[in-house]
Amino acid sequence: MRRRSCAGRSVAGLVGALIPIALSCLTPSCAKPVTGTGQVAWQRDDRFSRADRREILEAAGQAGFTEVRTVSKRWHRPSRDQFHVLVESNQTVTGRRVASMALIICGDVDRHHCDDERGNRPWVRVGQWMTSATIVQVERWRVIDADWHIDVALDDGVTESIADAIILAMHRQSLVNKTGRPDLLVREDVRRALGHRFLGIERIVARADRYEVTTSNDGTGYVFDMRVLGDRVEVGEVSYWDA
């Protein structure tokens, strides 16, 4: 299994459709406390210290994000230490569209990701954590197969029907293997990937029928090069990456 170098790319580029909502509180004096902090779900494999948890929630509160439900890392590949924190609210489900509010918070090591969003606005900063205080709406598409489902982040140019075709082919193990590797190994890669916390699909711009499926889980993940030909979904390459 080949490890692919993807310098300069972020797994978090596919958190979902990001729609800017508001620029909220920028000073501690107007900060609101985070509500329901006892119900915040911290991803167990992300290993935030107590100090980190306190500072991240305080930064979210100062940014006006007061209804935190989940906190997780989004790794930047192929770096071994760079990530940013995605803070999300409870999800709302309308049909098969899954939406939540989100705020990106960066540490000192990864501040360049927040720099891109901040523009000329001042930082909201607590300890080593900082944010542009831009609250966005995140949208994902829910793919359903009987009693199984998974929520997928779709890049521009990826339709819901394409997402259904790719993910269902992965789940049902009906991919056409064009990798040159044994079918058993490819099926095992797919099985592991569908268990990861994050999954997104991008369209490969140079090829209209080609898509890249990216997964992420605790600083590791997969990249699948897929081709969609009607009901036929081919996998041409499987790459494993780690942070």
pLDDT, tens only, 103-137: 999 988 777 767 666 666 778 999 999 998 888 89
End-to-end CA distance of the chain: 16
Q: How confident is the model at residue 154 (pLDDT cuts 50, 70, 90)?
A: very high
Ranges 8-12, 109-113, 142-146, 153-157: which has the least confidence: 8-12
Instruction: List pLDDT tens digits, range 168-182.
Output: 999 999 999 999 999
pLDDT band per the 50, 70, 90 thresholds, residue 35: very low
What is the per-residue pLDDT for 94? 97
Q: Using 50, 70 and 90 to split pLDDT, how confident is the model at 73?
A: confident
Phi, psi of 59 (to 5 degrees): -60, -40
Task: Work out the pLDDT band at 220, boundaries 50, 70, 90.
Answer: confident
Whole-angstrom distance, CA of residue 160 vs CA of residue 219: 27
Q: What is the pLDDT of residue 48?
A: 83
Contacts of 65 (CB under 8 A, 6+ apart): 24, 34, 87, 89, 101, 103, 135
Most confident of 21-30, 41-50, 197-206, 232-241: 232-241
What pLDDT does 28 receive? 35
Residue 42: its pLDDT value, please?
83
Q: What is the pLDDT of residue 75?
A: 67
Q: CB–CB of 121/132 below 8 Å?
A: yes
Structure tokens at 91: 């999800």
Amino acid letter, 26: L
pLDDT at 8: 33
Scanning the chain, the segments in alpha helix (DSSP H) are 50-62, 111-118, 160-171, 183-193
In angstroms, the CA 170 to CA 110 distance is 33
Integer Rg of the chain from CA: 19
Q: Whose CA is closest to 185, among 120, 237, 119?
A: 237
In this predicted structure, the answer to whether residue 24 has a pLDDT above a threshold of 70 is no
pLDDT at 34: 45
The rounded Cα 175 to chain-centroid distance in angstroms is 24
| Helix or strand (DSSP H, E) at 176 | strand 176-177
The domains of the chain, with CATH numbers, are 11-139 (no CATH), 143-242 (3.30.2310)
